[in-house]
Amino acid sequence: MTERSEFRLTIACPDRMGIVARVAGRIADAEGWITEAAQHTDLEAQWFFMRWVFSLPAGGEAALNRDLAQQALEFDMRWSLSDTRIRPRVVILVSREPHCLTDLLARWRSGEMPMEIPAILSNHRELEEVASCYGIPFEHIPVTPQTREQAFQRLQDSLQALEADTIVLARYMQILPPNLCLQFRERVINIHHSFLPSFVGARPYHQAFARGVKLIGATCHYVTEELDAGPIIEQDVARIRHDDQVGDLVRKGRDVERWVLARGLRYHLEGRVLTHGNKTIVFD
């Protein structure tokens, strides 16, 4: 029996007749076997999105890559073909809060998260012991008002040296500089402890408490130069009682943050998130 490997194809392009047929034909020509297919058309923008998973015989991806490159010119496609056996390198940035980090590490160790973690970077040392328990290198990069520019240059250098495919801000309480956001566009994922666009910036639970909301939430989104305004990947909420205090909102919110970040990161790692402007299409 011929050895086969699994691949993932994502496409975004202006909508027109025949896209699915042409792509399916290219895959069939490469002896591909489609096992998962999802597509969506944004009727307002007239834009087409698709995500397919299929197997190919050994060496079949080279010819398919050439065929898709030619078709991309014809259809004005943004596309990606990836081997699902290759696990992305995910660098996690943290500050002092442990709950999102420990949740991701537990899911990673159990095999739930298809990723490699080459390092954990932090502006504080409190979570160094957590990294050590999982055998992951830890780098302390302190950030102060006086050393901010040098610190973020060091952070950027470290991310490049680590060959980070994805960067996760697991309650990393620093605002990334614009040049870093641009360099890693749609590769930096943040968990914000609010149901965006409500309560952006610092202390959102305190803002929510002062406003008297009945629902609090968390938002997993891509990081852009504009604070807490990047394309949203995943959100969820928790109900608040009239007698809940700020501490109760924080406690309930931590649970939501864990769930939302884990789901959002998994969607990203599995190539289920396609962006168009400030919107996302999530093939979950």
Burial class (CB in 10 A: 0-12, 13-18, 19+), 124: middle
- Residues with Cβ within 8 Å of 105's Cβ and at least 6 positions away in sequence, in order, are 117, 130, 134, 136
Is 255 an annotated catalytic residue? no
To which residue do tokens 């910036």 refer?
201
**Of 42, 228, 236, 244, catalytic:** 228
**Contact of 209 with 246, CB cutoff 8 Å:** yes
Query: Is 260 in contact with 196 (CB distance < 8 Å)?
Result: no
| Residue 86, helix vs strand vs coil | coil
Q: Which phi and psi angles does 233 have, rounded to 5°? A: -95, -45
Assigned token pair, 39: 């597509």
* 197 preceded by a cis bond (ω within 30 of 0): yes
> Which residues are part of the catalytic machinery?
228
